[in-house]
Amino acid sequence: MSLQENNQLWQIGIGAALAQAVSTVAELGVPDLIERGSARPVAELAAETGCHEHSLYRCLRFLASRGIFEEQGQRSFALTPLAEALRTDAEGSFRAGARLFGFLFPGVGEFEHCLRTGKSGFTKAFGQPVFEYLAGHPEVAPMFDAAMMAIHGPETAAMLVAYDFSGIGTLADIGGGNGSLLTATLRKYPEMKGLLFDLGHVSGRAKANIKAAGLTGRCDVREGNFFESFPAGADAYLMRHIIHDWTDEQSIQILKNCRAVVPQHGRVLIVGPVVPAGNDPSPAKEEDIAMLIHPGGIERTEEEYRELFDAAGLELTGVTPTTSPVSVIEGRPV
């Protein structure tokens, strides 16, 4: 093995510590303590976060070597664009996303379990599946919601530019979470009505956000479980980052429940990554590993989506790429 290969593998290995360092300084709120355009001594940062001063200095020096913070004179640190993105008040703040990485890290430690069994590392580490855990720990829900916005929020604008929702009278957002995607779509299409469908412990947060957006009169919120049934009455049923959470068997059941209510003229829209062929890096391949570790799901190729649709009585009629990592996979009733 050459020195170059050795160094490259070292960089890959130390990446786990880098991810933890980013998550930890985000959890501690270190970027919030540094004013934009100025620097603060590490002694002050350590005092305000309750950290060991020299250890915090070493962490920030490490992060600065990767473009996160900038060390200036007298052991002081300033924000860089990456560090600023971790501030709570940053536009499109990624702080919650970084915090979520730290929260999920025990599941990553069970990666061998995933490979040997095909099952979730999160479930092994936490003793229950991720969505059951979230339902039983409401204190985690706000962080999880904010993290989903930080990670996936930019996809919404890209989706609305790439895909034409014209002609849809009522759009149902299945597993719609806090309602951010549906409210953005309703704002762009003022003639459209919305229907958000999610579990009971989620729908309350969605109702509040829809009310705050002034869309209560145009958007209905219903509680339920998509493994049991889908709400009737929509022209199109959209699922963003839903199908990828589940096995093929579970995904087919979800799609069959959707097929039972979608009208013959209707559409089924899956918004998510499509795994490309070949050896090139891809966000879809990265997210696929996250799905393996945490919920036990899978990201799929276009052909694998086609097979799921066929098994549920749907026909894959198009894949619309966006400028973000997701595409809109469209299906219609056979």
User: What's the rounded mean pLDDT across residues 117-137?
Assistant: 95
Domain enclosing residue 71, as ranges: 3-93
As annotated, the active-site residues are 244
Q: Are residues 170 and 35 in the same domain?
A: no
Q: Are residues 166 and 307 in the same domain?
A: yes
Global confidence as pTM: 0.90
Q: Are residues 74 and 167 in the same domain?
A: no
Give the integer Cα–Cα distance in Å for 212 and 309: 36
What's the confidence (pLDDT) of residue 45?
98
Give the integer Cα–Cα distance in Å for 334 and 332: 6
Residue 117, domain member (yes or no): no
* Cα atoms found within 13 Å of the Cα of residue 146, Cβ hemisphere only: 20
User: What's the rounded mean pLDDT across residues 113-141?
Assistant: 94
Q: Are residues 75 and 224 in the same domain?
A: no
Q: In the predicted model, is pLDDT for residue 16 greater than 90?
A: yes
Q: In the predicted model, is pLDDT for residue 1 greater than 80?
A: no
Is the CB of residue 34 less than 8 Å from the CB of residue 77?
yes
**What stretches of 217-258 adopt beta strand conformation (E)?**
219-223, 236-240
Query: pLDDT band for position 37 (50/70/90)?
Result: very high
CA angle 243, 182, 86 (to 5 degrees): 80
Q: In the predicted model, is pLDDT for residue 135 greater than 90?
A: no
What's the confidence (pLDDT) of residue 145?
84
Residues 6+ apart with CB under 8 A from 131: 245, 295
Residue 174, domain member (yes or no): yes
Count structural domains, the chain.
2
What CATH number corresponds to the domain at position 72? 1.10.10.10
Give the integer Cα–Cα distance in Å for 168 and 164: 10
What's the confidence (pLDDT) of residue 193?
97
Q: Are residues 324 and 208 in the same domain?
A: yes
As a 3-state breakdown, the chain gives helix, strand, coil percent values, each rounded to 5, of 50, 15, 35
**pLDDT above 90 covers what percent of the chain?**
86
What's the confidence (pLDDT) of residue 203?
74
Q: In the predicted model, is pLDDT for residue 208 greater than 90?
A: no
Closest CA to 161 of 177, 184, 194, 193: 184
Residue 113, domain member (yes or no): no
What CATH number corresponds to the domain at position 296? 3.40.50.150
Q: Are residues 46 and 165 in the same domain?
A: no
CA angle 106, 141, 329 (to 5 degrees): 85
Residue with tokens 């020096």: 61
Q: Are residues 55 and 193 in the same domain?
A: no
Q: Are residues 275 and 193 in the same domain?
A: yes
Residue 129, domain member (yes or no): no
Q: Are residues 217 and 83 in the same domain?
A: no
Q: Are residues 83 and 16 in the same domain?
A: yes
* Cα atoms found within 13 Å of the Cα of residue 173, Cβ hemisphere only: 26
Q: What is the DSSP letter of 178?
A: T
Q: Are residues 183 and 81 in the same domain?
A: no
**pLDDT above 70 covers what percent of the chain?**
100
Q: Last residue of a domain, which of 93, 124, 159?
A: 93
Residue 110, domain member (yes or no): no
Q: Are residues 236 and 324 in the same domain?
A: yes
Residue 130, domain member (yes or no): no
* Cα atoms found within 13 Å of the Cα of residue 154, Cβ hemisphere only: 11
Residue 205, domain member (yes or no): yes
